[in-house]
Structure 1
């Protein structure tokens, strides 16, 4: 059993529905912060907004300090080292905010160093991509879209991460819009020009959006995020905690150009390689919101026999990279040939940026990666 698979076992047994926490005793949830813009009723519409591409300018990167021994067991300090190291690396290029429980903020600050701002705000785990709101740009302002995080379809209890969107937006006085659907940031990939990539397995799923059809969700995505066209991929249901987020499968690197995760040559076919094959078929036939055919670049995975990490839920996809101001942060898995190949592909398709490999074995063993651990806010750089 891997480091996090205990949760899916408990959830599958129906214990969460019965009110038994798979994490054991948990801290009480943080109340919603009152009295600040964004903390009251959400705005009724964000029509006319735009969901920007990740390569556009960021005012800051958000990250979250892993909080619970009950989730990470004996690996908590190891994963904190990975998170602190990643935060320090990103802080070389743009402003980084680490969200941490108030009683853990001092320890997080010591680990991350003075280049990272630690903000005391209760969190449960490190997956900021999914728990922090997505940001839609409107003339003269940015609106935070709260995606109603529910622990990836109630697979894990997240009493603090659930209201994190509302509380973070209140802290920064950013207007809040509550999405009419439930999703996570890692489920959404855009070119910044009106095209959105998503997996059906993650959104058209009764664990998040019971009773809603794909057509209904597509209409809501377009209205909420200022999207003109949605490209749907099958994904994979029930085999990882996210139900196959798009950010480990297909990523934009420029309008009309995507990188596609590809299994290591010769690896046995499985749900994930079949998902990649299906995505390739969709991409080959698709046009984006501007009518362009898509250029598809393979991004091959490392040799499973050469990676330095381990675990049943280890994520070895290079597609889970993060584009920051002036740099791209990619996972380094220990297969030198594959690591170098991925670095070259990213350099070729994101020119003018430093390509920074980061070892993240503990994060990857927890079922995620660099993109899962970061969340960008668009705007003029803070420094």
Structure 2
């Protein structure tokens, strides 16, 4: 039977969490000339999470774990709530290679769904990453539902009550969808995550290795409210694609027949680092039980973005953390993490 038939659903990110899953960085070549700056910035992120809830870390045993503990200690992390799991990985992006957790509200059981991860359309080696959901299920003694389709966690945004928001530029890209039965894929999304309706927008950010993950673009902040990235400069390459996304979001109908509350979230100023143009976005925030961790970029727009996100999450502490070095490999705090429901 499917998770849906058994009464499981994927909760919204703002619902109660048991822990945040992360994967410790392993490959200096992915941050050329900046790995020594990456590790303390990553550790500061882990330390911030540890002030609010437990952390579960995929990290191969031995010298890598020793390195992780050293940097976490220096960052002031509460190591009493950081649990390490001997799960080797290719890369850090646990949102995409980690499991998507589901919960049965009637029984309280939490299980996981395990999808194929192919390194964002075969761009990067992902063999070890693809094994992580099965390793987590074994380590936790958790029920695992495996699906024969490629899916990355950063490519889907859930309302918690039956809506899934995603992008055509990822899900319909031949590097994921070639030879796929699209109807069967959409049925698997609905059965695996307990979704009634899939909502589509078209475009991703320029220079995004993922081809356009939704978690850089549009985020549910309530079941009928969406924070959406907006480019304010018509001369920049993201302007027209994001205007189209905004128009599509405003045209969507809710299950009740109304419209979503679409809240504009301006993009940061574009910048380059380590020889590449980067895709910064304030939308790549992580919601915790009592806080929201927001990537900031040392720009004048940081304060405005923190205010907009704070208004969307009243009662939660808004924590802005520098994400510039992390972004060298194309993602930020939401991309790094995966929540496990309580």
Whether these two folds match at TM > 0.5 is: yes
Deviation at 1:136, TM superposition (A): 1.2
Quote the residue 2:221 is aligned against: 253
- Give the Cα separation in 2 of the matches to 1:164 and 1:329: 24
Question: Partner of 1:135: helix, strand, or coil?
Answer: strand
When residues 145 and 247 of structure 1 are mapped into structure 2, their CA distance, relative to the original with a 3 A threshold, is same
Aligned-residue offset at 1:308: 9.2
| Contact kept? 2:95, 2:334, Cα under 8 Å | yes
> Partner of 1:217: helix, strand, or coil?
helix
Structure 1 position 223, deviation (Å): 1.5
C-alpha contact (below 8 Å) 2:32/2:274 kept by paired residues: no
Paired with 1:176 and 1:289, the residues of 2 have a C-alpha distance of 30
Question: 1: distance between equivalents of 2:267 and 2:315?
Answer: 24
Instruction: Find the partner of 1:162 among 120, 124, 130.
Output: 130
Q: Which has the higher strand share?
A: 2
Aligned partners of 1:362 and 1:324: how far apart in 2?
22
Match of 1:61 in 2: 20
Which residue is 1:367 aligned to? 330
Residues 335-359 of structure 1: CA deviation (Å, up to 9, x unaligned):
13x1110111111110000000000
Tell me the distance in 2 between the aligned counterparts of 1:239 and 1:135: 29
* Aligned pair partner of 1:286 in 241, 252, 258: 252
Q: Confirm whether residue 217 of structure 1 aligns to residue 169 of structure 2.
A: no
- If the length of structure 1 is used for normalisation, what is the TM-score? 0.82
For 2:340, the equivalent position in structure 1 comes to 377
Rounded Cα–Cα distance in structure 2 between residues aligned with 1:192 and 1:297: 19
- Judging changes above 3 Å, is the alpha-carbon distance between structure 1 residues 333 and 247 closer, same or farther for their aligned structure 2 residues? same
Q: CA deviation at 1:273?
A: 2.8
CA shift for structure 1 position 226: 0.4
Shift of 1:68: 1.5
Say whether residues 1:333 and 2:297 are aligned partners.
yes
Q: Distance in 2 between matches of 1:125 and 1:292?
A: 41
Shift of residue 328 of structure 1? 0.4
Change (3 A) 1:184 1:128: same
Residue equivalent to 2:38: 79
Contact 1:308 1:361 in 2 (8 A): no
Q: Which residue of 1 aligns with 2:9?
A: 50
Q: Distance in 2 between matches of 1:268 and 1:274?
A: 9
What is the root-mean-square deviation of aligned Cα atoms in Å? Answer: 2.0
Indicate which of 179, 183, 188 corresponds to 2:151.
Answer: 183
Partner of 2:261: 295
Instruction: Report which stretch shifted further, 178-187 or 228-237.
Output: 228-237
Q: CA deviation at 1:86?
A: 0.1
| Native 8 Å contact 2:204 2:217 kept in 1 | no
So what's the TM-score if we normalise by structure 2? 0.91
| Cα drift, residue 236 of structure 1 | 4.1
What's the CA shift string for 1:251-286, capped at 9, x where partnerless?
0111111111011x225242x333312211211111
Deviations 1:24-47 (A, max 9, x none): xxxxxxxxxxxxxxxxxxxx5212
Is 1:106 paired with 2:66? yes
Number of aligned residue pairs: 331
What's the counterpart of residue 30 of structure 1? none
Q: Secondary structure of 1:193's match?
A: coil
Deviations 1:108-166 (A, max 9, x none): 11211324223221112111111110011123211211121111111001221121111
Counterpart CA distance in 2 for 1:81 and 1:323 is: 21
Q: What is the Cα deviation at residue 371 of structure 1? A: 0.4
Residues 109 and 117 in structure 1, CA contact (< 8 A), matched pair in contact too: no
Q: Are 1:109 and 1:118, in contact at CA under 8 Å, matched by a contact in 2? A: no
Distance in 2 between the 1:176 and 1:291 partners?
35
2 CA distance for matches of 1:284 and 1:378? 30
Question: Is the contact between residue 195 and residue 288 of structure 1 (CA under 8 Å) also seen in structure 2?
Answer: no
- Sort the Cα spacing of 1:327 and 1:82 in 2 relative to 1 into closer, same or farther, 3 A: same
Secondary structure class of the residue paired with 2:276 = coil
Gaps of 5+ in 2: 74-78
In 1, distance between residues paired with 2:218 and 2:89? 28
| Compared CA separation, residues 181 and 56, structure 1 to 2 (3 A) | same
